[in-house]
Structure 1
């Protein structure tokens, strides 16, 4: 394949441009196309889909990745994608890869995750995207299994016909590759954190709080991401940014019929029926 025809792949994350996970992702997929990296200049975990609007955003070119165009961004993961498209690439990349995140982004975590929000921003902009997360918070975690599946999934997305809004949430167990059974296409589990805040006082006597919590899984389905990961499978969840509950929408359309009147006159339905009789 000629170099000029190689796909352009944008890589980003939420752990910061110096995190081992983003280097592992780059090393895993660098053979597939022209790589451009735009990532936060500091950790931005838990930022969700936040954007920067109250102060300027800085974008500094870095030589962290030899021979690769890479930038450190002072903004959020979503800012990174927006700036990459508008000011770095001046075009939409063929694929956006986010991660490899240090820690899981299964179930409810997808709502809070900067990793997945960066990928989601790309999908909103009609760029197929994937967020990769390893089930380990260890800074020195072994990313080799995650790299294997990042290569596999990236190659599939580039070779096969994908929709322009395709968005995948991929979580990899913290296991040697030989212990992983394969991957499963899953649904997002119904699970959440039972949260509480630890209250403390600073040296000046002012209260401050640390968020803690226990992860609770309420979903026993064998096709959920939590089940797959607990059973040594990689979970792949197709995600969408349309949050409409279509089942509830249909039910409310039937149950919540609009009986309001127009300008104090008869309900719309009666007006329509009467006019129909006149035309008969």
Structure 2
């Protein structure tokens, strides 16, 4: 099985290295990741400037573009024989409606648009507690090997959020959970005549216990099936 690995934290991110170690036993790896940190870039694609594609090692590239660009280049330019797009392991959670702003998730969504299934993987961090990449690698290997052998609707993808390092073990259980609909509270403050985003208290964000935020914050791995299909709405 052939996997395209990418992320939005950049080609040198520790989470990407952990993802490589997790999926290496499962098949052949192709890595194309942004040459810089692009967290929160959502589904931005580059059409107004050239892109530089640099091969660092065999089947490992960096791109001066976004995560969605990386997937497009892999499919349309390099024409790689990809069976799954795997994005992450993100340095921080991508929970609830945050998936619509996440570059990590956008890479997988881009793959699904081209008929390739995918898994987006993130590691929630509680405050300044370091990430636990070794346990993340083991948990992702275990869960990834299960998911790639499950049938999945061609309009859907998996979104995984690992809990914080205090709760994450190699054998931490997962729970299927819908996306939390309540957004992260945001605010701004004015300084020197300009508006500055005020980073909210992520761990105190609104949540219901059965949603992905509630599950992940409760110490389990949250697993959400996200569908791209929209249903026709009747006009009153």
The TM-score, its normalising length taken from structure 1, stands at 0.76
Residues 78 and 179 of structure 1: CA distance in aligned 2, closer, same or farther (over 3 Å): closer
Quote how far apart the aligned CAs of 1:129 are. Answer: 0.3
Does 1:211 pair with 2:197? yes
Residues 190 and 41 of structure 1: CA distance in aligned 2, closer, same or farther (over 3 Å): same
Does 1:142 pair with 2:141? no
The alignment partner of 2:3 has SS state of strand
Match of 2:184? 193
Compute the RMSD of aligned alpha carbons: 2.2
Q: Which moved more, 1:73-82 or 1:185-194?
A: 185-194
Quote how far apart the aligned CAs of 1:50 are. Answer: 0.6
Query: Are the aligned partners of 2:158 and 2:226 in contact in 1 as well (CA < 8 Å)?
Result: yes
Residues 165 and 145 of structure 1: CA distance in aligned 2, closer, same or farther (over 3 Å): farther
Output the CA distance in 2 between the equivalents of 1:165 and 1:139: 36
User: Which protein is richer in helix relative to its size?
Assistant: 1
Query: Are the aligned partners of 2:138 and 2:170 in contact in 1 as well (CA < 8 Å)?
Result: no
Output the CA distance in 1 between the equivalents of 2:2 and 2:170: 33
Residues 217 and 177 of structure 1: CA distance in aligned 2, closer, same or farther (over 3 Å): closer
Output the CA distance in 2 between the equivalents of 1:185 and 1:123: 20
Does 1:48 pair with 2:46? no
Quote how far apart the aligned CAs of 1:230 are. Answer: 1.9
The TM-score, its normalising length taken from structure 2, stands at 0.89
**1:94-114 CA distance string (max 9 Å, x none):** 111000000110012101000
**1:78-124 CA distance string (max 9 Å, x none):** 00000011222x14511110000001100121010000000111111
Match of 2:121? 132
Residues 62 and 236 of structure 1: CA distance in aligned 2, closer, same or farther (over 3 Å): same
Query: Are the aligned partners of 1:134 and 1:146 in contact in 2 as well (CA < 8 Å)?
Result: yes
The alignment partner of 1:194 has SS state of coil
Output the CA distance in 1 between the equivalents of 2:98 and 2:12: 23
Residues 138 and 21 of structure 1: CA distance in aligned 2, closer, same or farther (over 3 Å): farther
Does 1:13 pair with 2:2? no
Please list, as runs of the form range in 1=range in 2, the aligned pairs for 1:73-92 lying within 5 A after superposition. 73-88=63-78, 90-92=79-81
Output the CA distance in 2 between the equivalents of 1:174 and 1:158: 24
Residues 188 and 234 of structure 1: CA distance in aligned 2, closer, same or farther (over 3 Å): same
Output the CA distance in 2 between the equivalents of 1:245 and 1:13: 30
Residues 229 and 158 of structure 1: CA distance in aligned 2, closer, same or farther (over 3 Å): closer
Output the CA distance in 2 between the equivalents of 1:228 and 1:180: 16
Does 1:230 pair with 2:217? yes
Output the CA distance in 2 between the equivalents of 1:93 and 1:138: 36
Q: Which has the higher contact order (CA 8 A, sep 6+)?
A: 2
The alignment partner of 2:197 has SS state of strand
Match of 2:88? 99
**1:126-159 CA distance string (max 9 Å, x none):** 1110010001286952212321221123212333
